[in-house]
Structure 1
Amino acid sequence: MEFLVQNKSEVEEQLLSEAVNVREKIEEILLIGNVDLLNNAHRLIRYIVEQNEDDMIAFAEKEGVVWATYSLTLSFKLEWIQAIRRTLWNFLYEFEKLKDVFNDSKVFFDLEKKVNEKVDIFLKSFFISYSDYKDKLILAQQNLVENLSVPIIPITPSTCVLPLIGSIDESRMRIIEEKVLMEIGKLKIQILILDLSGIIEMEVEIINQLMKILDGTSMMGCKAVITGLRPEIVTKMIRAELCFDNKAEIKGTLQQALRDYMVVS
């Protein structure tokens, strides 16, 4: 370790020559994620040389979280770690030429096993940490998108509006069903106004699913009001012999429903 510290500048020069792609991105990575690749390389080398596996794994896990948080390129990380591996072996070779400590082949192969095993453990710990944290971020983003796609808006303590916009497929309809029934129970909603004016097209299967949601709404003791039905959807319902009349009250527009169910000063 003393030999490596004494040759710190040469180690860094070797690292940068080994990792050509990373060399061009060092400043950018530092700016984006506050990751100092050169200092981190010296830290990892010390853990490897001193066989400090516990601190090395903790360091790898922390690095994984940082790279996942800032979506830093994984190929750069892999190139950088392999550059560290090659650089360390180059300087072990220089150390051997000075000290002649590896004249016994068993000593050399034991060292080879220890060094490469620690590098592999670091990579494994890093990628597991990266993957786990990335999954958590993706799940959080999915939950956010789901909440934004089903925006139940309280109008009065007992009345809420659910404006639906864009296309609706089976996956989104399942989300709507879960969110509607959950919020009715949570907010004690007595009147739920579903505004469909932002829905241009709705397949018959989706309309059937919507009717089941209206049944569930009724079972929860909540009155459903549908507004903004477009002619295209109404035509499709007529041809499929479907009707909302016995499941919800129908209003032409959201404004009409708000006038009927709100006390306006």
Structure 2
Amino acid sequence: MKNELQYLGETILKNKGFIAQEIHEKRFAEVSMTSSEQKAFQQIEQQIIKIRADFVALFGEALVDSSDIHKANDKVRIWGEKTGQYIFGLGVPLDEALKDTSYYRSGIWQHLKEEVMKNNLSARIVFELISIIDPLMDKAVHDFSLTYVKEFQRSLESAKTSFLELSVPVVPLVPGVGVLPLIGNMDTERAHLLMEETLKQAGKLELTHLVLDISGVLIVDTMVADQLFKVIGALSLIGVKTIITGIRPEVAQTIVTLGLDLNHITVKANLHQAFKEIQLIKNL
């Protein structure tokens, strides 16, 4: 049986290019592309075919060395991780990429079927092929999908971080003076970034005064107020005086209800009043 499996594996390795090309042509026979998409695809088509051929070869190698299934699993895992990263980088949706699975199954099995029939191999060999080919195919799908999802999550986290950084914009107005307009809701993650980015930008811009405008903050609760107080306290430690502006009536009511003490914090109704306060302080 081992010699027969080796023979079948060797025929797959020998014909991997042909099998890969056949799978590739069937896969894209019904895919509709615009002229620009076709042009872009032609630039990577040979690389895609090579990836297919390398994948087909993994099954040939598994049959040639059927006694070491762990080695075959490791090779499939490496292929899945590498290809998952590559396909994600191309921007191909996961569900679209996974459509290849059925083409690989049918392509490889069609070749094996022809060889089994041509050489009149036993049903036992067929069952042995099933026990090797199908689990490897399933593992390849799992490893590919897992890597693709991890890359997707990493991309989301990167985009979220970039968005959060943009949501803490310290804008320099005149030398030593900046304004930080806060807009939207404040969650724990954004609050943490608020402290980090504000201190960083205040030092970078050599600020002496920062106007913290919260007219765009929808909700001010205990957590938000506590974080704002911490930011103001940290800024004071590096020599930056903070003025809060834009407290809307409903927010003011919430602050009073929560019993928050703003006596030690400079509060002005708007930016204009804050700038007048800064000019007054600087003229003293």
For 1:15-54, list aligned pairs within 5 A: 15-16=26-27, 24-25=30-31, 27=33, 36=45, 40-51=51-62
1:98 is matched with which residue?
118
For 1:2-151, list aligned pairs within 5 A: 2=14, 15-16=26-27, 24-25=30-31, 27=33, 36=45, 40-51=51-62, 58-100=78-120, 102-103=121-122, 105=124, 107-151=125-169
Is 2:221 the partner of 1:203? yes
2:274 is matched with which residue?
257
Distance 1:208 1:150 in 2: 17
Distance 1:7 1:70 in 2: 23
Distance 1:114 1:234 in 2: 69
Distance 2:264 2:153 in 1: 44
Shift of 1:61: 2.8
Shift of 1:251: 2.8
Instruction: Call closer, same or farther: CA 1:188–1:24 in 2, change over 3 Å.
Output: farther
Deviates most, 76-85 or 181-190: 181-190
2:236 is matched with which residue?
218
1:84-140 deviations in Å (ceiling 9; x for gaps): 12331122111222233x3383x5455444433543443243223213322221121
1:3-29 deviations in Å (ceiling 9; x for gaps): 56667776567x54xxxxx86546488
The one-letter amino acid of 1:253's match is: N
1:118-168 deviations in Å (ceiling 9; x for gaps): 434432432232133222211211111111111122335533221111233
What are structure 2's unaligned runs of at least 5 residues? 1-11, 63-70
Q: Percent identity?
A: 24
Number of aligned residue pairs: give it.
Answer: 254
What are structure 1's unaligned runs of at least 5 residues? 17-21
- Give the counterpart of 2:190 among 169, 172, 178: 172
Shift of 1:67: 3.3
Task: Provide the secondary structure at the position in 2 that maps to 1:96.
Answer: helix
Contact 2:19 2:108 in 1 (8 A): no
Contact 1:65 1:133 in 2 (8 A): yes
1:51-84 deviations in Å (ceiling 9; x for gaps): 4968765543333123333553323333321331
Contact 2:19 2:53 in 1 (8 A): no
Shift of 1:246: 1.0
Distance 2:110 2:241 in 1: 75
Instruction: Call closer, same or farther: CA 1:26–1:92 in 2, change over 3 Å.
Output: farther
Task: Provide the secondary structure at the position in 1 that maps to 2:99.
Answer: helix
Q: CA RMSD in A?
A: 3.8
2:171 is matched with which residue?
153
Instruction: Call closer, same or farther: CA 1:183–1:4 in 2, change over 3 Å.
Output: closer
Shift of 1:187: 5.0
